Amino acid sequence: MSIKNFKLSIGHLYPKELNLYGDWGNIESLIYRCVNRRIGVEVTNIDASTARSEVFKRADIFFMGGGPDSIQKNIFKDFLFSKGPYIKECFLKNKVGLFICGAYQLLGNYYRPYFGEDIKGLGLVDFYTEHFGRDSKRCVGNVVVDISNLNINTSFSRYLVGFENHGGNTFLGPKRPLLGSVKKGFGNNRKDKTEGIHVRNFFGSYLHGPLLPKNPHFSDHLISLALNLKYKDNIKLVPLDDSLELIAHKSALILK
């Protein structure tokens, strides 16, 4: 089958509510890299008004961005009870998902905010998040993450670069299914130098910026996973001219 006959569907969860630090750019990056390879791509917005299971069955990649605690509280019941069963089913079927910051936190067991009751998560992955508290500084700044632990083409770079701004400590369970190890910045918390999670084909991360435009190798990894799951073949992506992306990536790749 010619690659131009391939098509991917992206399910964008809560696009209006969760777009902190330009997280929309992750969708734009996926679209750009598909279109320039003549891979068909469609994006379906999924919000509180979306109840049809067909939307989740059709989607090959899920994306959900970050937002403040107040927004998490507004959407978490819909996310947990209305969308949760569908998302769990897609997770178990190895569909691809990228969840940033607040969305990432909702994949775990719970998020404990500074004020108010715990926000229950889907419990797809064994971790929890708790707010630092009034007297602790937020985790803010540029981040460099070594992802050489992933089965990913690192000829572009062995790192992810991005920006973090979060007020919670995330602690992984004993199996520590991390996305990568922190070389600069904070990542999941201030203690263990871990960043994000990677379980099956779901990825969680604190990296905004947005993440994917400055890390095209990771964008391509998500696209490859989705294509190979959908079409049951060892599909090789045609290389793109990533000269501008490499400049952006290297400008953020400062380890000191």
Supply the CATH number for residue 144's domain.
Answer: 3.40.50.880
CA 221/CA 76 separation, integer angstroms? 28
The question of whether 34 is a catalytic residue gets the answer no
Sheet holding 168-172, edge to edge: 119-120, 110-112, 127-131, 168-172
pLDDT, tens digit, for every residue of 116-165? Answer: 888 899 999 999 999 876 657 889 999 999 999 998 888 899 999 999 99
| Residue-number span of the structural domain to which 204 is assigned | 3-252
- The rounded mean pLDDT for the chain is 91
pLDDT at 2 over 60: no
pLDDT, tens digit, for every residue of 151-207? Answer: 888 889 999 999 999 989 999 999 889 999 999 999 999 999 999 999 999 999 999
Cα–chain center distance at 235: 22
Encoded tokens for 162? 């991005």
Number of domains in the chain: 1
The question of whether 166 is a catalytic residue gets the answer no
Q: Catalytic pick from 12, 34, 90, 101?
A: 101
pLDDT at 51 over 80: no
pLDDT band of residue 38 (cuts 50, 70, 90) is: very high
**To which residue do tokens 């947005």 refer?**
210
CA 195/CA 178 separation, integer angstroms? 6
pLDDT, tens digit, for every residue of 75-105? Answer: 888 999 999 999 999 999 999 999 999 999 9
Contact indicator for 9, 34 with CB cutoff of 8 Å = no
What is the predicted pLDDT for the residue at 134? Answer: 63
pLDDT band of residue 46 (cuts 50, 70, 90) is: very high
Q: Catalytic pick from 208, 217, 221, 249?
A: 208
Encoded tokens for 92? 């178990």
